[in-house]
Amino acid sequence: MTDLTTRLGTLELANPVLTAAGCGGTGRELARFFDLARLGAFTTTSVMLRPRAGRPTPRVAETPSGVLTAMGLPGPGVDSFLETDLPWLAEQQVPVIVSVAGHSLEEYAEVARRAQESPAVAAVEVNLAAPNVEDRGRMFGRLPGPAADVVRAVRAVTRRDAPVLAKLAPDVSDLVTIALACVDAGADGLSLINTMAGLAIDPHTLRPTLAGVSGGLSGPAIRPVALRCVYEVHAALPGTPIVGIGGVATGLDALEFVLAGASAVAVGTTLFHDPTAGPRIARELEEALSARRIGRLADAVGLAHRLPPQGHVGHVPPQISPPPGADERRTEESKEKLP
C-alpha cells in the first residue's frame, strides 16, 4: 500500500487530490458521482462578502485542450454560504478549504474571519486574482505588495490551526518574488496556479466569444505553465507546501506536479469533462507511485529537483525502497520503467 497522506502546513490530508476552487460547485453536484470523503479536501468556489451574479453569458469558450472562462466570481455571498453550503459540506467527512475573495483588504478579512469560525473549515485559500477596486480593478496578486497585504490581513483573522494558502496566477512579471512576499506575510502554503488571461474570437460573429471579452485559460493547455511555476517556486521555497493546479487530468499528471514540488494537486477544469476524476486520479497516482516503488507520496515531493539529469555518468541516483509490506505487484508500466 502506498502512503498517500500529505501535509499542508498543520493540515494532514488522507490523499493529495483536491478539487480546485470554482470547479466543484457546492459539492452536492459532485456527490452525485462519488463520496466527497474520497477527496483529500474539497475547495469551495471563492466566497465573497455579498451575493454576486457574475458575468453575462457566454461565459465559456472551448479552446485547444482547455477552456476560456469569464465568470466574474459568481456566488451566493458569505451569509448564504455559511447558512446552506458549509453545513452540508461539514457532514461529508471531507476537509473543507474555503476560497475567499474580495475587492478590498477589509472584504477579504471579513469573509475569512467569518468562515474560519466554523470548525468544518480546515484551511483558507486566498484567491488573489480578484479585482482590486482601489487599483483600477487589477488583481491583487499582480504585485508582491498588494498580494502580501491581503495574505497578512487574512492570516491575522484566521485561527492558527487553519493554514492560509495564497493562490497565485502565472501571468505576472515575477511569480517567485510574489510567492516569497506571500510567505513572508504569513502564508502557510501556495496554490499554483490560477487561470491565465486569454482571448477567443468567434470567426462567424467576428467578435470576442465571451461576454467578458477576455477570460481565464484553464485545463491541460496550461499544465506546462503550471508545472514550471511549481518547479520554480519549490526551488526558491522548498519548505513551503504547494498545491499544484493546472490541467491535472490523470494520475501521471498529478505525479508530474508532485515531482516538481507539489504536496497536493487540485483538479479543476477536468471535472467539467469527467466529474468522477477526483477519486480516479488519486487511484492512478497511487498506482503510479507503486509502479515506481515509491512507498510514500512525501518521498516524491520535489524529487525531480534532487535527481541528476538522465544519462548522467558517475552518479548513483537516490534509491527509494518501499516500506515493509509494500505492494510488490508489478504492472506492465513498472516492467518498462524498472530493469
Q: Which residues bind other proteins (CB under 8 A)?
A: 22-25, 29-35, 45, 50-60, 62, 64-67, 69, 71-72, 74-77, 103, 131, 133, 137, 204, 211, 219-220, 269-276, 279-280
132 is in an annotated binding site: no
CA distance 306 to 23: 33
CA distance 52 to 84: 16
Nearest approach, Cβ of residue 299 and other proteins (Å): 27
335 is in an annotated binding site: no
Closest C-alpha to 288, from 13, 70, 9, 17: 17
CA distance 294 to 291: 8
239 is in an annotated binding site: no
Q: Which is nearer to other proteins, 52 or 296 (CB)?
A: 52
CA distance 129 to 146: 11
CB 4 within 8 A of CB 15: yes
337 is in an annotated binding site: no
CB 146 within 8 A of CB 168: no
Q: Which is nearer to other proteins, 67 or 89 (CB)?
A: 67
23 DSSP 8-state letter: S
Nearest approach, Cβ of residue 89 and other proteins (Å): 15
Nearest approach, Cβ of residue 19 and other proteins (Å): 9
Q: Which is nearer to other proteins, 71 or 300 (CB)?
A: 71
219 is in an annotated binding site: yes
Q: Which is nearer to other proteins, 269 or 290 (CB)?
A: 269
Q: Which is nearer to other proteins, 219 or 251 (CB)?
A: 219
Q: How many residues does the chain have?
A: 339
Burial of residue 47 (CB within 10 Å: 0-12, 13-18, 19+) is buried
Nearest approach, Cβ of residue 79 and other proteins (Å): 12
CB 258 within 8 A of CB 16: yes
268 is in an annotated binding site: yes
Nearest approach, Cβ of residue 221 and other proteins (Å): 8
15 is in an annotated binding site: no
- In one-letter notation, the amino acid at residue 270 is T
Binding residues for substrate: 127, 194-195
Binding residues for FMN: 127, 167, 193, 219, 246-247, 268-269
